[in-house]
Amino acid sequence: MDKKLQNAFNEQIKNELYSSYLYLSMAAHCESKNLGGFGHWMKVQAKEEKGHAMKIFDFLIDRGAKVLLRAIPQPPADFDSPLAVFEETLAHEKKVTRLIDDLYELAQSSGDTASSIFLQWFVSEQVEEEKNATKILETLKAIKPDSAALIMLDRELARREG
């Protein structure tokens, strides 16, 4: 594997692990606000992001490339509201989409077919990630912050499997 591409994959492992930390931080915040369903949703999301990092980790190992783990920045810990949490979630997922797109383009320009094919799963996954965050964000925008609808949404988010 091209060294520049290997380096970019290692950077993406860090990015995926940061995503996991971010969602764990959001889970802690939500649970501290007595929104256990929101917290549960975020914990499932954090687990999923860690899985993405491990998928890349295993791919690098399978390809005989070197895995170099990098420092993960501390995520924010305080958010103004559930709406702010999901605004940040959507913004973050859009950033990850750009990172995956850049990585895919690098794999293509490197002529690394195996990496390009591998990354197609991540491209599709990001469509799903943005869709899920958008759906919840739009619901939050439609309800009043202190309404019973927030409790109903919290209960719905508590049912997320994972």
Mean pLDDT by 10 residues, the chain (162 residues): 97 98 98 97 98 98 98 97 97 98 98 98 98 97 89 96 90
Whether 47 maps to a domain, the answer reads yes
Whether 36 maps to a domain, the answer reads yes
- Look up the domain containing 116 and give its range: 3-157
Whether 35 maps to a domain, the answer reads yes
pLDDT at residue 119, as a whole number: 98
Tokens in use for 35? 């929104």
Cα 23 to Cα 1, 2, 27, 144: the distances in Å are: 31, 32, 6, 24
Count of domains forming the chain:
1
pLDDT at residue 17, as a whole number: 98
The phi, psi pair for 91, rounded to 5°, reads -60, -40
- Yes or no: say if 106 and 118 are a contact pair by the CB < 8 Å rule: no
Q: Is 74 left (phi over 0), alpha (psi -120 to 50) or beta?
A: beta
Whether 162 maps to a domain, the answer reads no
CATH number for the domain harbouring residue 129? 1.20.1260.10
Summarised one tens digit per residue, pLDDT across range 47-70 is: 999 999 999 999 999 999 999 999
Whether 91 maps to a domain, the answer reads yes
pLDDT at residue 145, as a whole number: 75
Whether 23 maps to a domain, the answer reads yes
Tokens in use for 30? 């939500």
